[in-house]
Amino acid sequence: MKKTLPFIAIIFLAAGVALSTLNKCTSPAGRTIVDDLRVEYMKNPVGTDASQPRFSWKMESGERGVSQAAYTIIVSTDNAFKKVVWNSGEVLSDQSVAIAYKGVALMPATRYFWKVEVKDQSSKKIASTEKAFFETGLMDSGWSNAQWIKPLQRDTICTVPMFRTTCTLNKKIRSARIYTSSLGIYDVFINGKRVGRYDENGNIVYDEFKPGWTDYTRTVSYSTYDVKDFLTKGNNVLAAYVAAGWWQGGISHGKYGNPDLGFIAKLVVNYTDGTSETVASDPKTWKCNSDGAIQKGDIYNGEVYDARKESAWTSPGFDDSGWQTCGINTDFKGKIIAFAGPTVQIRKNLQRSPVKITRYEGITNEGSDFGMINVKDTLTQPATISLAKGQTLVYDMGQNMTGWVKFKVKGKMGTELTLRFAEMLNDEGKKSRGDDGPGGSLYRSNLRSAKAMLQYKLKGAAEGEEYHPSTTFFGFRYCDLTATDSITIESLTGEVVGTASEETGSFSTDNPSINQLFSNIIWGQRSNFLSIPTDCPQRDERLGWTGDIEIFGRTASYNADLAAFFQKWMGDMRDSQRGDGAFPSVAPHCWVGYGQAAWAEAGIIVPWTTYLMYDNKNILEENYPAMEKYMSFLANQSDENYHYNGAGTDYGDWVSYVHTDNRYISVCYYAYSALLMEKISLALSAGKDDEYAQKAASYRALNDSIKQEFQSRYTAEDGMLNQDTQTAYLLALKLNLFSTGDIRQKAIDHLRQLIVDNGNKLNTGFVGTGVMMPTLSDAGLIDIAYNLLLQRDNPSWLYSVDQGATTVWERWNSYTKEDGFNRDGMNSFNHYAYGVVGEWLYRYVAGINPDESRPGFKHILLNPNPDFRKTLPEGQKQITQADASYDSYYGKIHSAWKIENNGSVKYNIALPANTTATLTLPLPVEQSEVFESGIAAKDAKGVFSVKRENGKEKIELGSGEYSFEVK
Ligand code: BGC
């Protein structure tokens, strides 16, 4: 089983990283097992519409040099494997990721069981033992007579209508599934119980914010739930509520018109006698009411909840005679497709208790702009707190995060609680520092028009009442709470809500600030992957800004398993692509434009990354026509002066300190697109002369032509750039746009100087920072990259860490000690783009890289780069140890190094079974020797070959655990 990594534990243990903490394979020493069986990159998915689902598994072994020689997959409709629908036969292949089903056509709404047997390198057979299955969704079988229902009377915006129907099931139930979706976000209940799924351990898991965000002009997703255990023989109630979600309210930016909310459901019950029954959403048999406990729900603004209006409306026996009949919603014209990928959930293991609670009443220092809050007392432990009218409690969760709070409160019926959310506190209560209120109170200007609050009216239950919202989410570290009457707060915790993709990466060093930076990167991802990859979770945006994920996507794919997530999101990109081929600036598209350089290119870069990281070739095939359309959009941007202008210039090197010409960036990204299209075409090509091979050649030629025009447009006579910025040099180096090797070397030297002259500081924005660290390292400037990593002055990564950041900020100077808050309205404290440095930590510091020619980490390029800097900028300390892991589709890859006091360097590595690696170790001096577990590396078991090249030792390895030492 793939395990969620204990990031927190890793981070806190980081100071004492021991090389002995090598992750052990889960299989007993010497035995190989086959496990972690997946279909469409998911564990036992229920409700997939893929006609040829793809199978993956892992081999795990404590031995070295283990590989797969052959596999046999068997798929059956019964778990005794008597009704086999596909037997692959023995396939001589070492492939174990994403193997497509090739049996008889799959039937809709059917559960299929599967197993795999592999033969290892010595022809030993190993059979999977997990109970593995997948279940098809409705496929093309349709929704029977299910209709989109809506409240007949349209209420004010953001009300939350409830729908219910009763049905009688007269026979013994063998199996039952409910298929549901909504226009808006919904939750569904059967007989008073919220519908969810049971995980492997028998715990119920609920999905939040269903059906997720897609481009609703074309697509909405449906979910499938096994509801046999929710139904009974006799009378049953199906119920659901629908809130605005992404369909209505500010976040939709009016994209879908002025639509009504809607709900659709189809319950299919199979009886033990072989008959079946369907109950579908139908305005004639469903009733509706909009005056429930959730009075209002909106993503930007929050939720209004009146507990006095709670009732048993989801249960049998409830009197709905006062409810209205429903209407038919015709606002949706697109397709309903099966949801694929990880769902949004409450991340239970990330729950936060407040680290500090401050009670204040009134303000002090009234003469100043806002004054300071008048603190009554502070509490550090979560405890029962009595709060009087007029007082305010400020909760500090100790972590900027996305989700909501859950609380338990006691008080008189009708008392109203108000909770407001914020990422930061005002510091000195001064307008001159950008504060928007008294020092110590919530700083909320950066939320802009998002109200981000909860209002809760007590029902007055003697035993207390517990609540969390479900129709909104907040990006916050702090919340404050006031009440219209005295109350007692029994508990309040922060719940993290987001896409529950499995976390797959870890990274730590002996430098606590770097470990905090890594934690901030992880939290940026946890906060901003909510159904789609978003820019920020707090203000009135929270949109799928394509540039942000273009930059952060690679880091994100180390941090978590995004194989299915990105495949789904690329569907949003295709749906939102403009007719002329321009990809949007936000996907799903609901606002702003299309075809902007470094944003729109996400349509090519994200599939390429997904292919590299997960060997997901399908994402390349599926998106190839859309990418080609984008390339023709780019081709159409020529003008009378230039052929190769590239995409639009709206954003450029967003939020940089030094401006680089926006058009320059577009041209570079055009070259980038052509380069990737060549690689993608080659990846899809089956042979020398096929269509993909020809396309590859034409993209190669295109890249050359762009390069030539680039040189005449942007280089001076000496070959150097007429754009003298870090970003300009970084892009030209990354994309190899210089005409000769000599000029390239001059450019590298110049870039080094630009950074040194800037006090060893970067001054780049999203684009320059996006490519900075790998480009410097590939250009031989890894010492400069380390200098930048460990820089603490503004602008730098550690500057925000030193200001107490717990997530990555939108700007290098979102807050500074000198000036307080950045005055720009665009000032998020939870933006992942600058977290792109995470990619460099994994790929260059720890050195864990996929090999383009055998992607998905089938072959691993392990290039660890210890901090060998000879001269350190003032105040910096060398990093002497690093430890990272990445849980690939073959299993966990581990890479750790430690520079010993005597100058020798130890490398502990682990490679999962069925992979090989090229390990490249830097040699401090020519005479350095390399040992593995005490013997010469070349003699070690599992080592195929050792070669010395350009001051480095290249070691070809089979799977297993190794301890190398360079002395
Ligand atoms: C978003 C960014 C985005 C940018 C582009 C901002 O408002 O938060 O992250 O990429 O706009 O203009």
pLDDT tens sequence across 390-414? 999 999 999 999 999 999 999 999 9
Quickly tell me which residue has 């349709």 as its tokens: 142
What atom in ligand 1 is closest to the CA of residue 536?
A: 8
Residue nearest atom 9 in ligand 1 by C-alpha distance:
535
Residue range 608-612: average pLDDT? 98
Span from the CA of 829 to the centroid of ligand 1 (angstroms): 13
Check residue 16 and give its pLDDT: 35
| pLDDT beyond 80 at 449 | yes
39-98 per-position pLDDT tens digit: 999 999 999 999 999 999 999 999 999 999 999 999 999 999 999 999 999 999 999 999
What atom in ligand 1 is closest to the CA of residue 828?
A: 8
Crossing angle for the helix pair 782-789 and 741-757, to the nearest 10 degrees:
20
CB of 669 sitting under 6 A from ligand 1:
no
912-934 per-position pLDDT tens digit: 999 999 999 999 888 999 999 99
Check residue 152 and give its pLDDT: 87
Pocket test for ligand 1, best of 446, 528, 545 (most atoms within 8 A of CB): 545
SS3 readout for 781-843: CHHHHHHHHCCCCCCCHHHHHHCCCCCCCCCCCCEECCCEECCCCCCCCCCCHHHHHHHHHHH
Any bridge partners for residue 118, and if so which? 71, 126
Q: If pLDDT is split at 50, 70 and 90, which confidence band does 797 have? A: very high
CB of 541 sitting under 6 A from ligand 1:
yes
CB of 774 sitting under 6 A from ligand 1:
no
High-pLDDT (> 70) share of the chain, %:
96
3-state secondary structure of 769: helix
Pocket test for ligand 1, best of 448, 532, 535, 592 (most atoms within 8 A of CB): 535
| pLDDT beyond 70 at 17 | no
Closest CA to 525 of 506, 547, 552: 552
Residue range 152-168: average pLDDT? 87
Q: If pLDDT is split at 50, 70 and 90, which confidence band does 367 have? A: confident
Sorted by sequence, the CB contacts under 8 Å of residue 461 that are 6+ apart come out as: 307, 410
Dist CA 723 CA 768 (whole Å): 13
Q: Which amino acid is at 85?
A: V
b/e sequence 922-933, b meaning 16+ C-beta within 10 Å: bbeeeebebbbe
Check residue 6 and give its pLDDT: 39
Residue range 367-371: average pLDDT? 88
Check residue 381 and give its pLDDT: 67
Dist CA 246 CA 214 (whole Å): 9
245-277 per-position pLDDT tens digit: 999 999 999 999 989 999 999 999 999 999 999
DSSP 349: G
CB of 545 sitting under 6 A from ligand 1:
yes
Listed range (270-284, 381-395, 546-560, 672-686) with the worst mean pLDDT: 381-395
828-869 per-position pLDDT tens digit: 999 999 999 999 999 999 999 999 999 999 999 999 999 999
Q: If pLDDT is split at 50, 70 and 90, which confidence band does 200 have? A: confident
Span from the CA of 770 to the centroid of ligand 1 (angstroms): 14
Q: What angle do CA 570, 571, 574 make, to 5 degrees?
A: 85
Burial class (CB in 10 A: 0-12, 13-18, 19+), 1: exposed
Check residue 29 and give its pLDDT: 54
Check residue 382 and give its pLDDT: 66
Sorted by sequence, the CB contacts under 8 Å of residue 450 that are 6+ apart come out as: 250, 300, 301, 538, 539, 540
Residue range 103-130: average pLDDT? 97
In this prediction the pTM is 0.96
Q: If pLDDT is split at 50, 70 and 90, which confidence band does 510 have? A: very high
Dist CA 586 CA 594 (whole Å): 8
| pLDDT beyond 80 at 18 | no
Dist CA 510 CA 879 (whole Å): 6
Dist CA 122 CA 709 (whole Å): 56
Check residue 140 and give its pLDDT: 85
Dist CA 341 CA 501 (whole Å): 8
Listed range (148-162, 204-218, 222-236, 730-744) with the worst mean pLDDT: 148-162
Residue nearest atom 11 in ligand 1 by C-alpha distance:
545
Distances (CA, A) of 515 to 141, 509, 518, 526, 879: 51, 6, 5, 17, 11
Span from the CA of 574 to the centroid of ligand 1 (angstroms): 20
Tokens of 88: 């692959």
Q: How many CB atoms lie within 10 A of CB 712?
A: 8
Q: Which amino acid is at 56?
A: S
Q: If pLDDT is split at 50, 70 and 90, which confidence band does 590 have? A: very high
